[in-house]
Structure 1
Amino acid sequence: MNHDYFMLINHGAKRTGKTILNNDLFLMELRRVGRIAKKLGIANPQYILAGATLGTINKNVLIEITNKYGIEFQFDKFNRFKLFGVLVVCTGHSTIGGLAAIRGMTSFGAYINEGSLANEEVFDEIKARCSGEGARILVDTNPEHPEHWLLKDYIKNPSDSIVDFHFELDDNTFLSERYKKNIKDSTPTGMFYDRGIKGLWVSGEGVVYPDFDRDLHTITREQLQEIHLESFFVGVDWGYKHFGAIVVFGLDKDKNIYMIEEYVAQQKEIDYWVDVAKDIKARHGNILFYCDSARPEQVERFRREKIKAVNADKAVIAGIEAVATFIKQNKFYVLYDECSQFRAEIYKYLWNEKTGEPVKEFDDVLDAMRYGIYTRFKKDILRGKRRGLHE
C-alpha cells in the first residue's frame, strides 16, 4: 500500500492465502488503473490477467472473487471482460500460445496467477506489455526447484521495483491448529514438506521416497492372506530396451493400498504383455489397467483383447507426492519378498538436484506404481485439496 513497486511476488507454501490476497489486490489495482486512465483521457485502459490456463484463471481467481464479493464477469468473444472501467484481457501463460492474446497491446498492469508454471517467454512478454503509466504486476506462486528462473531472476534479485513476500503454512491464521497439524503430519518428509509447509524453493535430496520403511510398509504372503481385498487395479509402464513393468494393487475397506504382484521383463513384444494382463484379469476380474500413454498402439491392443486399459495421468511431481503421502500415512504396503524389482529400485530412485525431478534410473516398477496409484486416486486427492483451500 505504501510502496510504488513494479512487481509484487507472493510466494510460499500451499493454503497460505497468497491467491486470496492477490485477488483482493487485483480488484484494488483495477480501480487504481481506472483512475489513472481517466486522468489521461483513455477510454479503454487494458490489463492482463494470466494463469496457467483459462480454466485455472476461472477457478483460482474469478470464481473466488464472485463467491466473495458477488461480482459477475461478462466475457466477450476474445476472453475479455470489463470491470471498474478497465478492459481485462485473459490469457494462459503455461505455453507459448499465450503470447497471441497479448502481443502488441499496451497494458496498465498484470496479475499472473501460479507464476512458476509460466512459460518464461510468455512471462517476459507480459512484463514488456506493462508499459502504461503506473503499471504494476502481481504474481503469486508455490515454490519450485532452486534453479527456477522466477526464483533466480526475480525473487533473489529484489530492488525498489521488485518486492516479494514469503509465506509459510503457519502464517495463515485463519486455519485451525487442528487442520495445520493434520496437514503437517500427513505431508511427506523432505522436499514436499519443505515446499508445502515451509514454502521453500528446494529440490529433493537423496531418495525420492524417504518415508518408505521396510519394517512398516511391507507384508508377507501369510499376512496378506489375512487381509480382505475388496478391489484391484493395475499400473503399466511399457518398455523394451529398458524394463517394462506391470504391477497389481489391492484395496481393503479402509482404502489401504497393497502392491501384491509385479511383472518385469526386457525385450518382450506386446503379445507377452497381453498374456500377463489376461492372466491378471482371469484371477482378479475385469479390472482397470492404468497404462503409460507413450505407446498408444499397445494400449489399443489391450483394448482389442478386452482388457480394460485407460491412459494413466503421468504427472511426475503430483504423482510422486500422491504415492509419498500414502506411504507417510502408512496406507501403502508391498509384498516385499515377492516384488524383486521394487526392492531393486525403491532405495536407488533419486532426485536430480538441478531439475527438481527424479533421475531417470531405477524407475520402471516405480513409474508403473505411480501411474496406477495417482490415476486411481487423483479425483479423491484433488477433492481433498479443494476442501483444504476453504478450511
Structure 2
Amino acid sequence: MPLPLSDKQLDSIRRSFNARISIWHGSVRSGKTIASLLAFLISIRRAPATGLILLCGRSLQTIERNILEPLQDPELFGSDVTAEVRHTRGATTASILGRTVHLIGASDARAEGRLRGATACLAYVDEGTLVPEGFWTQLLARLSVPGARLLATTNPDGPRHWLKASYLDRETELDLAAFHFRLADNPSLAPAYVAALSAEYSGLWRRRMIDGAWVVAEGSVYDCYDEQQHVVDELPEMRRYWLGIDYGTVNPFSAVLLGLGADERLYAVAEWRYDSRAHHRQMTDAQYSAAVRGWLDELGVTPEWTFVDPSAASFSTQLWTDGHPGVARADNTVLDGIRSVSNVLDAGLLRIHRSCAGLLAELPGYAWSEQAAARGEDQPIKANDHSCDALRYAVHSTAHEWRHHLARAQ
C-alpha cells in the first residue's frame, strides 16, 4: 500500500498544478520528494501529447537512484503505478505511464548543450541547487509547449545561491510555487530514526539538512571545536588505525594518524609534518615515503589504510613501490569531508592528542571564504589547511566505520 500523505504534501501537489515552476525545498527526509514525484506522475498523465518529458539531475546515476528507484517501489506508489515505470539501468530513456521520458545528467556547464533544439512539455529536476544555472535557464526556455511546467526538488544551500536569489526569493514576481518542508513535517518517521538522522548533522549542515534553512557558510569551518573539550594529553588503547596524508612539496606535507580507541571514540593520535620552506629543502617522493614509514615504525603502528591526497599520484605509486600496505585515494569531496569532521567533533566522537601541533595550530583559523559566500558558494579559505586536509581524508574516508557511533556519542 502506498504511504499516506500529510496535509502539507497534498496541498503542495494541488498548488503545483497552477504554476509554471514548482519547487519543493527543505530538509532531508521531510516528505518533499514523495510529494513532488506524485505531482510528477499526475503531470505525466495530464501532459500535452506534443513535446518531450525530461528527468534531469546531477548525473544519470543520481537520477536512477533518487527518482526511478523510488518510482518503482510499490510501497511508495502502489503496484499498479510501479508496473508502468520501466527503465534499463544505464539507458538514457525510461517509459513512465506510457510516455517516453528522457534522462539528462547536468554535472557541468556543458550539459546545457544537451537541451539545444529540444521542445519540452514537462521537466523534473532532482536537487536543483546541484545543476548549473545555465542548464536551468536553458531548460526553462525549452519548456515552450502551452501549459509546459517545471517541477524541482532541492535541499537548501547558501542564501546567495542562484536558485534562492533568482527564483525562490522572487516567488511573487514569477509564475512559481515554492513549498518549504522541515524534518518535522514528515509524520511517518519513527522518533528513533529522527534522532539518529539529527545526530548525523551538526552546525551549518544541521540548520540546512534538518531545519531546512538557507543559511550562509561563514566564520570558522569547525565552529564547534573547543580546545578544552577536544584536546587530550593521554590516549586509550587503540583498536584500529588509519592514516590521512596531504601531500606537499613547496607547501607543507602532513600525515595525521587516526585511531579508533577502546572507548569507541576516534583520536588524532599523532602527526608527522614537513615544511620545505621552513627547512629550506624540498624532499622527493622516496624521501617522504621513507620518513613516513620511519615515523610509523617509531610509533609501532601499521595503519589498515593510508588515504593519500588524490592529486599526489606519484607519491601513492612510491608508497606502493616501497611496500606500504593499504594505499588508497582519499575521498576528497571537500564539503562532505568537512561535514564528516564537523559531525564527529560536534558529537564528541573525535579527540586530538596534544602532540599534533600542526593540526592544533590550523583548526582555530580554518574559516569559510567570504568571497566565495558572496558568489553563493561554500568554500573554505585555501591557506594553512594541510593538517586539516589530512584529518579530513582520514575521517571522511572511514565514515562507514564510525557513523553508527554518532547517535550514541551524543
Q: Note whether the superposition's TM-score is higher than 0.5.
A: yes
Spell out, residue by residue over 1:245-264, the C-alpha distance to the aligned partner (whole angstroms, 9 max, x if none).
11111112454211111111
- 2:289 matched residue in structure 1: 274
Contact kept? 1:12, 1:167, Cα under 8 Å: yes
1:97 to partner: Cα distance: 4.4
Tell me: CA distance 1:101–1:75, structure 2 relative to 1, closer, same or farther (3 Å): farther
Q: Sequence identity of aligned pairs in percent?
A: 26
- Once residues 384 and 231 of structure 1 are traced to their aligned partners in structure 2, the CA distance between those partners, rounded to angstroms, is 15
Question: Is 1:90 the counterpart of 2:110 in the alignment?
Answer: no
- 2:209 matched residue in structure 1: 196
2:379 to 357, 382, 386: 357
- In the alignment, structure 1 segments of 5+ residues that lack a partner are 386-391
1:362 to partner: Cα distance: 2.5
| 1:105-184 correspondence to structure 2 within 5 Å | 105-158=118-171, 159-184=173-198
Contact kept? 2:366, 2:384, Cα under 8 Å: yes
- Once residues 348 and 180 of structure 2 are traced to their aligned partners in structure 1, the CA distance between those partners, rounded to angstroms, is 31
RMSD (Å) for aligned C-alpha atoms? 2.3
Tell me: CA distance 1:116–1:77, structure 2 relative to 1, closer, same or farther (3 Å): closer
1:265 to partner: Cα distance: 1.5
- Tell me the matched-pair count: 370
- Once residues 271 and 160 of structure 1 are traced to their aligned partners in structure 2, the CA distance between those partners, rounded to angstroms, is 61
1:168 to partner: Cα distance: 1.7
1:6 to 20, 39, 50: 20
Question: Is 1:240 the counterpart of 2:258 in the alignment?
Answer: no
- 1:73 matched residue in structure 2: 86
Amino acid at match of 1:273: Y
Spell out, residue by residue over 1:60-119, the C-alpha distance to the aligned partner (whole angstroms, 9 max, x if none).
111111113342413598611232342210011122343454331111110000110001
Per mean C-alpha deviation after superposition, the further-off stretch among 83-92 and 94-103 is: 94-103
Runs of 4+, deviation exceeding 4 Å: 75-78, 378-381
Spell out, residue by residue over 1:146-205, the C-alpha distance to the aligned partner (whole angstroms, 9 max, x if none).
22111111111113511211222222222233433444455323x122212221122223
- 2:364 matched residue in structure 1: 347
2:302 to 285, 302, 306: 285
- Once residues 384 and 93 of structure 1 are traced to their aligned partners in structure 2, the CA distance between those partners, rounded to angstroms, is 35
Per mean C-alpha deviation after superposition, the further-off stretch among 83-92 and 174-183 is: 174-183
- 1:317 matched residue in structure 2: 335
Question: Is 1:18 the counterpart of 2:32 in the alignment?
Answer: yes
Contact kept? 1:80, 1:88, Cα under 8 Å: yes
- 1:389 matched residue in structure 2: none
1:265 to 261, 264, 274: 274
- 1:298 matched residue in structure 2: 315
Tell me: CA distance 1:113–1:254, structure 2 relative to 1, closer, same or farther (3 Å): farther
Question: Is 1:47 the counterpart of 2:64 in the alignment?
Answer: no
- Once residues 186 and 153 of structure 1 are traced to their aligned partners in structure 2, the CA distance between those partners, rounded to angstroms, is 31
- Once residues 90 and 189 of structure 2 are traced to their aligned partners in structure 1, the CA distance between those partners, rounded to angstroms, is 39
1:281 to partner: Cα distance: 4.6
- Once residues 35 and 405 of structure 2 are traced to their aligned partners in structure 1, the CA distance between those partners, rounded to angstroms, is 22
Per mean C-alpha deviation after superposition, the further-off stretch among 247-256 and 314-323 is: 247-256
- Once residues 130 and 228 of structure 1 are traced to their aligned partners in structure 2, the CA distance between those partners, rounded to angstroms, is 62
- In the alignment, structure 2 segments of 5+ residues that lack a partner are 1-13, 277-281
| 1:219-238 correspondence to structure 2 within 5 Å | 219-220=232-233, 223-224=234-235, 227-238=236-247
- Once residues 56 and 150 of structure 1 are traced to their aligned partners in structure 2, the CA distance between those partners, rounded to angstroms, is 20
- Once residues 128 and 384 of structure 1 are traced to their aligned partners in structure 2, the CA distance between those partners, rounded to angstroms, is 48
1:351 to partner: Cα distance: 1.3
- 2:46 matched residue in structure 1: 32
Tell me: CA distance 1:314–1:185, structure 2 relative to 1, closer, same or farther (3 Å): closer
TM-score (norm 1): 0.88
Tell me: CA distance 1:253–1:53, structure 2 relative to 1, closer, same or farther (3 Å): farther
- Once residues 77 and 347 of structure 1 are traced to their aligned partners in structure 2, the CA distance between those partners, rounded to angstroms, is 45
- Once residues 78 and 356 of structure 1 are traced to their aligned partners in structure 2, the CA distance between those partners, rounded to angstroms, is 33
Amino acid at match of 1:64: P
1:316 to partner: Cα distance: 1.0
- Once residues 402 and 46 of structure 2 are traced to their aligned partners in structure 1, the CA distance between those partners, rounded to angstroms, is 41
Where 2:249 maps in the other structure, the secondary structure is coil
- 1:388 matched residue in structure 2: none
Contact kept? 2:272, 2:292, Cα under 8 Å: no
